[in-house]
Amino acid sequence: MTGTPSGRIRQTVLHWLKDPAAHFPPSSLDPLGTGVTPRAVAAKLGVPRRTAAAHLDFLTRLGLLRSRRRLLRTYYHRDEARIAEVAQLFEKNW
């Protein structure tokens, strides 16, 4: 995932979501403090919201992120169990 510009962006997003409170303003965090909105990711990346949402959707389809709707917003957070599972696959050379 790290070889392409998109891969580097997604890796950066995964890193930020490991500790969202350290990387995003409190107003963009979900009430549990574990997820962020696509708008917050877009602002931090300096890209349109639709671009950030596309990256978040891709990571969600891979199973690395989960989304949670709260009122009118969608918040994305890491799926630590799935990330660990994928990491083990790579450690075992797939």
Q: Is the pLDDT of residue 68 over 70?
A: yes
In 3-state terms the chain splits into helix, strand, coil percentages (rounded to 5) of: 60, 15, 25
User: Residue 81: which domain range?
Assistant: 6-93
Please check whether residue 29 lies inside any domain of the structure: yes
Cβ 38 vs Cβ 76: under 8 Å = yes
Residue showing tokens 């909105």: 37
CATH code for the domain of 81 = 1.10.10.10
CA distance 35 to 60: 13
Residue 71's pLDDT is what?
84
In this structure, the dihedral spanned by the alpha carbons of residues 80, 84, 89 and 90, taken in order and rounded to 10 degrees, is: 100
Residue 94's pLDDT is what?
64
Residue 4's pLDDT is what?
82
Please check whether residue 13 lies inside any domain of the structure: yes
Q: Is the pLDDT of residue 70 over 70?
A: yes
Please check whether residue 1 lies inside any domain of the structure: no
Predicted TM-score (pTM) of the model is 0.85
- Neighbouring CB atoms inside 10 A of 75's CB total 21
- Total domains in the chain come to 1
SS3 category, 77: strand
Q: Is the pLDDT of residue 8 over 60?
A: yes
